[in-house]
């Protein structure tokens, strides 16, 4: 980066677009272009960690519940239903109040909040796949449960899971931006897109570029994940039909 995104230079505050500062500078003289790049990285990191935690734990819960059923299914899914009754952002706020603010704390809080939705999706897919003849044959052959779950069943649920992952990325990006906008995401001097939008509020009319720069990047990030998810889902379906 040409400039340190956290370095302040009051003498150059509120600079307009120039060859030195492609998107100008903010109220502390920090280069907006560098801060957008740095903030995008923070937002992307939190989204990756959020989906990894939410999808990883949610897939395990959904897989075992969908395949085994019984008391395990009833107990865990009632818990998931209770958590699912609350909006993810509200659950994240509760968990952030417990774990504290910061990049990894927010990612962990959002990841826990995303577990119920992934567990429900995976459980539904595994319940349908569990009725297939090849699964019944694998049971008769005494194939280990873990092998049935993750070698035979999980690949056949990949199309739905990949679409859910991309939707999860979108939701995680927007949720992180919302939390940072409220001041409980990545903490200064670190930049995130939501935090930049929050800092730009007083200058919405006088210096609209403060809002436009992080806002456009946030929109492009969400659209990119959406198109990527559609492409992966389409290619997966085509691969399934070609077999």
CATH number at residue 176: 1.10.3720.10
For range 162-166, the mean pLDDT: 85
The band of 119, judged by pLDDT with boundaries at 50, 70 and 90, is: very high
What does pLDDT average to over the chain? 85
- Overall domain count for the chain: 1
Q: Is residue 36 part of a domain?
A: yes
- Report if residue 52 sits inside a domain: yes
At which residue do the structure tokens 């509200």 appear?
90
1 part of a folded domain? no
DSSP 8-state assignment for residue 46? H
**Main-chain dihedrals φ then ψ at residue 231, nearest 5 degrees:** -65, -45
Report if residue 88 sits inside a domain.
Answer: yes
- Please tell me the distance from the alpha carbon of residue 22 to that of residue 18, in angstroms, as a whole number: 5
Q: In the predicted model, what is the mean pLDDT of residues 166-177?
A: 89
Domain membership of residue 157 (yes or no) is yes
In a domain, 3, yes or no: no
Q: What percent of the chain has pLDDT over 70?
A: 96
What range does the domain containing 167 cover?
32-242
Q: How far is CA 215 from CA 5, 111, 116, 192, 222, in A?
A: 17, 24, 29, 11, 11
Give the model's pLDDT for residue 50: 94
Q: By C-alpha distance, which of 187, 161, 165, 178 is closest to 92? A: 178
Query: Does 18 fall in a domain?
Result: no
Q: What b/e sequence results for 73-84 when a residue is b if at least 16 CB atoms lie within 10 Å of its CB, and e otherwise?
A: beebbeebeeeb
Q: Measuring CA to CA, which residue among 38, 51, 89, 92 is closest to residue 217?
A: 38
Residue 11 lies in a domain: no
For 13-38, what is each residue's pLDDT tens digit? 877 777 777 787 888 878 888 888 88
């Amino acid at each position: 980066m040409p400039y340190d995104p956290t370095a302040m230079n009051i003498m150059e505050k509120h600079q307009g677009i120039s060859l030195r500062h492609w998107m100008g500078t903010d109220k502390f003289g920090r280069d907006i272009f560098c801060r957008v790049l740095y903030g995008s990285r923070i937002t992307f990191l939190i989204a990756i960690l959020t989906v990894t935690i939410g999808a990883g734990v949610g897939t395990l819960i959904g897989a075992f519940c969908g395949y085994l059923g019984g008391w395990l299914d009833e107990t865990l899914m009632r818990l998931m239903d209770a958590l699912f009754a609350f909006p993810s952002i509200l659950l994240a706020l509760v968990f952030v109040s417990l774990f504290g603010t910061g990049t990894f704390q927010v990612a962990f809080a959002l990841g826990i909040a995303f577990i119920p939705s992934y567990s429900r999706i995976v459980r539904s897919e595994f319940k349908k796949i569990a009725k297939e003849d090849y699964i019944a044959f694998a049971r008769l052959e005494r194939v280990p449960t873990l092998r049935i779950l993750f070698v035979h069943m999980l690949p056949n649920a990949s199309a739905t899971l990949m679409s859910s992952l991309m939707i999860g990325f979108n939701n995680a990006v927007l949720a992180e931006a919302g939390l940072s906008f409220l001041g409980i995401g990545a903490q200064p001097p670190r930049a995130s897109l939501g935090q930049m939008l929050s800092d730009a509020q007083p200058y919405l009319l006088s210096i609209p570029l403060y809002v436009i720069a992080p806002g456009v990047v946030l929109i492009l990030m969400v659209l990119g994940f959406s198109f990527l998810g559609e492409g992966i889902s389409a290619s997966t379906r085509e691969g399934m039909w070609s077999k």
